């Protein structure tokens, strides 16, 4: 962890989802950085010390799969837990997410408590709590 609060990068092209993440995470002690596309998300990862990424898969330009793959291929960032958050629900999508290096996969619509518990578990696993 690189700040007093764990820093979570939330990436989704839906502003409503980004607002939900901010409203759910900030009161629970997380610092939140919002991004609405893959290209910007990658720049945020390089610019800020990120502890966890919540990443939509289907976005214009660079997909969540591609961002996840970039994170895993870079020695500086390869240990950042990535949670794919998507409306995609097929087994193939889950397998592809795992193949790209995602630590978890959450389908939309999602439950507030479910997301918080998964984040807490992943940050604890990485020694961030």
CB of 97 closer than 8 Å to CB of 57: yes
pLDDT 10s digits, 85-126: 988 888 898 899 999 999 999 988 888 899 999 999 999 976
pLDDT score of 39: 95
* pLDDT digits 0-9 by tens, 26-49: 999 999 999 999 999 999 999 999
DSSP string over 58-95: --SSS-HHHHHHHHHHSTTTTTS-EEEEES---HHHHH
pLDDT at position 111 is 86
User: For 28, which DSSP code?
Assistant: G
pLDDT at residue 4 tops 50: yes
Query: How much is the pLDDT for 112?
Result: 85
Angle at 69 between CA 92 and CA 89, to 5 degrees: 25
pLDDT for 126? 66
The domain 7-124 is placed in CATH, from the list 3.30.1360.120, 1.10.1740.10, 3.40.50.2300, 3.30.70.600, at 3.40.50.2300
Per-residue model confidence (pLDDT) at position 125:
77
Query: Is the bond preceding residue 109 a cis peptide, omega within 30 degrees?
Result: yes
Residue 14 has pLDDT above 90, yes or no: yes
Distance between first and last Cα of the chain: 8
Interatomic CA distance for residues 109 and 77, integer angstroms: 28
Given a cut of 50, whether residue 50 has pLDDT beyond it is: yes
Query: Which pair of structure tokens corresponds to residue 37?
Result: 């596309």
Domain boundaries, the chain: 7-124
Q: Is the pLDDT of residue 127 over 90?
A: no
pLDDT value, residue 110: 83
């Amino acid at each position: 962890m690189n700040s007093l609060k764990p820093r979570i990068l939330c990436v989704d092209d839906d502003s409503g989802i980004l607002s939900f993440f901010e409203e759910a995470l900030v009161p629970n002690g997380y610092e939140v950085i919002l991004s609405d596309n893959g290209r910007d998300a990658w720049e945020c990862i390089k610019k800020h010390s990120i502890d966890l990424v919540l990443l939509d898969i289907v976005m214009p330009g660079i997909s969540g799969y591609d961002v996840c793959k970039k994170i895993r291929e870079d020695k500086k960032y390869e240990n950042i837990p990535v949670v794919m958050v998507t409306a995609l629900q097929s087994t193939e999508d889950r397998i592809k997410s795992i193949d790209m290096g995602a630590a978890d996969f959450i389908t939309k619509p999602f439950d507030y408590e479910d997301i918080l518990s998964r984040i807490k578990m992943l940050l604890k696993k990485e020694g961030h709590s």
